[in-house]
Amino acid sequence: MSFPRGKIGALHFVVAITALLSAAGVFVVVMKTGPPPAPVMVHLSYNFSVHNPSNQAIRNASIQVGCPASETAFQQRLHIRSDHSYQVIPRDPQGFATEDALLFEWEIFPPFATKIVTIRSALNLWETPRKPAQRDLSTYLQPEPFIESDHPRIIAQAAVLAAPKPLQTIENIFDWVSKQIDDIGYVRQARGALYAIDHQQGDCTEFACLFVALCRASAIPARVVGGFVCPRNTVLDLGDYHNWAEFFHKGRWHVADPQRRRLMREQQTYVAFDHWHAAGKAHDKPLVAVIAGDPLVIRASRQ
């Protein structure tokens, strides 16, 4: 193998410096560089039934369904498909979802009819977060419903957990929330950070909201994310919908799941459907919602 003359000179210089440092007793570590780790492709599917319990046909019925986010620090949606026709609805801060959603419409939904809707998606997932294009982090430092980062009790606890370095502060917050809050299982109604710190209990929503609120009170950008934990190809159980947190550190978003006690671990298993911040407020809407067509009934299923 031959090298250009300039590269040969550079190699000689590096070798000479390495030899001098070694002679002086300095341990030299040679860092290998290369392409970032390749993503893992995961195939997900989920399904539900739409039922008309009445003896009357329903005209212009429609439902809106959440789906994996198209692009995050950890994921890239490759495709999404269904056995029923649909439209992809772009982000709508005033609407049902803060990420893409799927809109299913039927001109006529027959009486007593049931339709099974299956959605399939393929994603690339990364363990190491990618750098985001967005740089304005001010949204992730502000208080909002369920994330009361400006409340005196939140501010006081954040001060107790503060450390000289941001990552140490994050670790302190994570450890405190993980150990201090009792997991009482799923609760339908979101209660948020202030409830969690006052009552020392909650479900995944309260764990995530309190972690985010304490980070924001410590001037660390953070947000709540909703979706599913998927270690492999799977058929999702919509009842397993989960909330966790992400914080921004050294130019990248990182996963923090204080309920499951995972800090920057197994990040490629977290599939985001929804970022609470995009609507400017937390929401408590179902993953599948009837937009028009009362009295349609939605039932989640798993095959």
pLDDT computed for residue 286 by the predictor = 78
Within the chain, residue ranges assigned H as helices are 5-23, 152-161, 166-180, 192-199, 204-217
pLDDT value for 8 = 41
94 burial via Cβ count (<10 Å: 0-12, 13-18, 19+): exposed
Per-residue pLDDT at 139 exceeds 50: yes
CATH code of the domain occupying 138-279: 3.10.620.30
Confidence (pLDDT) at 100: 83
What is the per-residue pLDDT for 10?
Answer: 44
Assigned CATH topology for domain 40-125+286-301: Immunoglobulin-like (2.60.40)
Residue 25: its pLDDT value, please? 45
Stretch(es) of the chain classified as CATH 2.60.40: 40-125+286-301
Give yes or no for residue 67 having a pLDDT over 70.
yes
pLDDT value of residue 280: 43
Confidence check: pLDDT of 265 > 80: yes
Q: What rounded mean pLDDT belongs to the chain? A: 85
Q: What pLDDT, on the 0 to 100 scale, is given for residue 61?
A: 96
**Residue 302's pLDDT is what?**
61
Is the Cβ–Cβ distance between 124 and 78 less than 8 Å?
yes
| pLDDT recorded at residue 91 | 55
Q: Which of 261, 224, 256, 258 is nearest to 243 (CA)?
A: 224
Residue ranges, comma separated, of all CATH 3.10.620.30 domains in the chain are: 138-279
Instruction: Report pTM.
Output: 0.83
What average pLDDT score do residues 190-194 get?
93
**Residue 35's pLDDT is what?**
56
Place of tokens 């000479």: 16
pLDDT-derived band of residue 283, with 50, 70 and 90 as boundaries?
Answer: low
Using one digit for the tens of pLDDT, what is the confidence trace for 205-259?
A: 999 999 999 999 999 999 999 999 998 999 999 999 999 999 999 999 999 999 9
Q: What percent of the chain has pLDDT over 70?
A: 81
Confidence band of 80 (pLDDT split at 50, 70, 90)? very high
**How many whole angstroms separate alpha carbon 173 and alpha carbon 193?**
13
Residue 9 has what pLDDT?
A: 45
Q: What 3-state class would DSSP assign to 7? A: helix
> Is the pLDDT reported for residue 294 higher than 80?
yes
Distance separating alpha carbons of residues 30 and 15, to the nearest angstrom: 11
pLDDT tens-place string over residues 21-55: 444 444 333 334 445 678 999 999 999 999 999 99
Confidence of residue 89 (pLDDT cuts 50, 70, 90): confident
Residue 103: predicted pLDDT = 95
pLDDT class for 188, splitting at 50, 70, 90?
confident
What is the per-residue pLDDT across 106-132, written as a single tens digit (0 to 9) for each?
999 999 999 999 999 999 999 999 987
Instruction: Report, as an integer, the average pLDDT of 282-298.
Output: 82
pLDDT score of 82 more than 50: yes
Residues 6+ apart with CB under 8 A from 131: 73, 251, 252
